[in-house]
Structure 1
Amino acid sequence: MFAVIKTGGKQYRVAAEDVVTIEKLEAAPGETVTFGEVLMVGNEIGTPFVAGASVTGIVVEQTRGDKTIAFVKRRRKSWKRKKGHRQELTVVRITGIAAA
């Protein structure tokens, strides 16, 4: 059975024992997290969320994504800017999907 959850402004399709990398959550490695915003469980689609459904997982690690470079140059002006960004991420192992 699979579920579609919403977290960090994005949607993820997860199943039991999946390892997903999501936007940073305030949780230490080893803590249990529960996702209550479940959009779909199996064939049941919520409006907008499935009532009583939840997905639980264990935080594996807190990490950072690859560096992305934003480089801006204005030609013939001797003007350029280079900015780097690394997104804070959380790796979660899904342990269970509970339907209503």
Structure 2
Amino acid sequence: MFAVIKTGGKQYVVKPGDRIRVEKLEGKPGDSVEIKDVLLVKQGEEVKVGDPFVSNAMVTAEIVEQGRAPKVIVFKKKPKKGYKRKKGHRQFITTLEIKEIKF
């Protein structure tokens, strides 16, 4: 059994027991999160595809930790002009453990 969910503008293929890192979601470690944007669910040979979402489908997950992703360096340079800019960015992320897929 697996599902395709959408959160933070991205899509993830998840199964019960998986740990995924997504864009920041509100909550503390140990809190339960319900994701209702389910695009596809497959159990055995049965496949349900949403239009755009599967009705009455939901993925339950638990927040494992709140943190930040590794730093991404953004460097701009224009040759022969003396223009250089260096900037770093660390995105806030949430680690989820998938508990259950309901549909």
With the shorter chain as reference, the TM-score category is over 0.9
Tell me the amino acid that sits aligned with residue 11 of structure 1.
Answer: Q
Find the counterpart in structure 2 of residue 40 from structure 1. 40
Q: 2:66 aligns with which of 43, 62, 74?
A: 62
Cα RMSD between the aligned structures?
A: 0.6
Q: 76-85 vs 29-38, which deviates more?
A: 76-85
Find the counterpart in structure 2 of residue 5 from structure 1. 5
> Normalising by the residue count of structure 2, what TM-score does the alignment of the two structures yield?
0.94
Structure 2: any 5+ residue segments left out of the alignment? none
- SS for the counterpart of 1:76 is coil
Structure 1: any 5+ residue segments left out of the alignment? none
- SS for the counterpart of 2:60 is strand
Aligned length: 99
> Normalising by the residue count of structure 1, what TM-score does the alignment of the two structures yield?
0.97
Moved over 2 A (4+): none
Structure 1 vs Structure 2: percent identity of aligned residues? Answer: 52
